[in-house]
Amino acid sequence: MRYRTRTAIAVAAVGATALGAGTAHAAPANITFRVEGPTSTLYEGKVTTDGHDVTTPTGGTHKCDGTNNGFSPVPVPVGTAALDDAAKLSGFGFDGTWFPSFEDFVIDEIAGIRPVFPEFWGLYVNQKASTAGGCQMALGTGDEALWSVVQSGPAPDFLPQSALRLTGPTEARVGQPITVRVVEGEQGAPQAGATVAGATTGPDGTATFSFAEKGIYRVKAEKAGAVRSAALTICVDPAGVEPCVSADAAAPTVAFRMPGSLASELGRSRTFAIWWQADDGQGSGASRYAVDVREVASGAAGAQDEWRTLHASTPLTAVHYRGDSGATYEFRVTAIDRALNRSQHALARVSVPIDDRDRRLLTVSKRGWRQVRRPQAWGRTVIRSRRDGATVKVRFAGRQVALLGRRLAGGGRMRVSVDGRSKVVRVRGRSADRTVLFRSAELRPGTHTLRVRALGKVEIDAVAPTP
Ligand SMILES: [Ca+2]
Ligand SMILES: [Ca+2]
């Protein structure tokens, strides 16, 4: 396993910022995530994660996106949200107590393990003990987040134990000696006396060993009083064959991991991220992905564009895409493991809403509405009705349409009609931004008209047709 250098992380972060220019939503990060129990590794894998609300049995539901306690000005991926994502992926539970004073959870239990002080669940980012809470410390693509049962050190510092970092070759030949190196994560000091694949490291932190049989080996460094390292996956093959091929004939699997199919469920602008997750079981590991896109035509016959290649081969498990207002896109991703086995395609659709500012598509009667800036809204603005009877009209092609907005404490009602069939929707109450306030029945293919008439105070953010 080659650890990403700081430079690589910085480049990835700059890339994401450039792609997301003009948006401030939490772009998901591709991280390595681990849970290290007292005697074994409970979870280890890639997780694509973003900051989001987290619910625990003891603590309830709270935001967990780096803005906690004012740490980050914008939502970012964080360690406790990653824990939540990994828990959902692999079905383990966790619990935490919420502390309003610092707006964060203290993690009490993961996968049934509830340590007792002076042991506790500690968070490490890139093998360094986290200096902020699990809903505060920002993560970026290429980072490693790790929860481990650790022992608190002596007063007054209570510094927890250090986490080990293991580096070495990821390919080897049967019987050929390889050398690995173990350091601790805070200062990078070599660690003597750590065990790796049955060998023990010397004063320079290195150990040398070989494998007598072909196979795929996952080795970790362990040492008393330190957090065990991430696995180094080593493909061991006979001489003369391509790496990993002799022991990995099984294709990986891949699935998209987005929370919804409207771009407004993925972010706040037409530049949205799609992300996926691969699993290669005990194989060599998915290492590359091929990603294609096509536009799904609205209306008649569902004709579709040809697939276009977004990435022929990327190591990332998320990409940004800028779509057109009112359009729907289909994405397909294929995972490729280190032995070049290819997964079957995973497919996902994303529909891009039409913003309230898009006057080419949205006809708003003059003076009936006023535009209001709202940072969490789609396109960062909404329109609010100024009087009863204010109307909005949009012509769209598709088989269904959703109206996005927000319930308001003093909210009224609105009459929503599609092709003349109308329904009254109440919007009094509370809701998050970009909530689906109304969704039409399925319509015949073709062009339709949606009309909204305000009865009292209402707020409209965007309209999302789907094919
Ligand atoms: Ca495989
Ligand atoms: Ca809007």
Among the listed residues 115, 137, 116, 141, the one whose alpha carbon sits nearest the alpha carbon of residue 128: 137
What is each CA distance from 465 to 52, 243, 296, 322, 405, in whole angstroms? 26, 48, 12, 17, 14
Predicted TM-score (pTM) of this structure: 0.82
For residue 125, the model assigns a pLDDT of: 96
For residue 367, the model assigns a pLDDT of: 77
Distance 247 CA to ligand 1 centre (A): 9
Interatomic CA distance for residues 283 and 301, integer angstroms: 42
The dihedral through the CA atoms of 129, 134, 136, 138 has a sign that is positive
Tokens of 302: 């569902």
Per-residue pLDDT of the chain (467 residues; tens, 9 = 90+): 333 333 333 333 333 333 332 233 457 888 999 999 999 999 999 888 989 999 999 999 999 999 999 999 988 999 999 999 999 988 999 999 999 999 999 999 999 999 998 899 999 999 999 999 999 999 999 999 999 999 887 777 677 789 999 999 999 999 999 999 999 999 999 999 999 999 999 999 999 999 999 999 999 999 999 999 999 999 999 999 999 999 999 999 999 988 889 999 988 999 998 999 999 999 999 999 999 999 998 755 556 789 999 999 999 888 899 999 999 999 999 999 999 999 999 999 999 999 999 877 677 776 789 999 999 899 999 999 999 999 999 999 899 999 999 999 999 999 999 998 999 999 999 998 999 999 999 999 889 999 999 999 999 999 999 99
Q: Looking at the CA of 356, which ligand is closest?
A: 2
For residue 335, the model assigns a pLDDT of: 98
What is each CA distance from 395 to 178, 247, 298, 377, 460, in whole angstroms? 66, 57, 12, 22, 16
Distance 341 CA to ligand 1 centre (A): 6
Q: Looking at the CA of 371, which ligand is closest?
A: 2
Q: Looking at the CA of 233, which ligand is closest?
A: 1
Distance 77 CA to ligand 1 centre (A): 29
Q: Which residues are within 5 Å of ligand 2 (an ion), measured at CB?
A: 355-356, 377-379, 381, 461-462
For residue 26, the model assigns a pLDDT of: 59
For residue 200, the model assigns a pLDDT of: 98
Q: Looking at the CA of 377, which ligand is closest?
A: 2
Distance 239 CA to ligand 1 centre (A): 20
The dihedral through the CA atoms of 25, 94, 39, 227 has a sign that is positive
Interatomic CA distance for residues 368 and 365, integer angstroms: 6
Distance 170 CA to ligand 1 centre (A): 15
For residue 19, the model assigns a pLDDT of: 32
Q: Looking at the CA of 358, which ligand is closest?
A: 2
Distance 55 CA to ligand 2 centre (A): 28
Q: Looking at the CA of 354, which ligand is closest?
A: 2
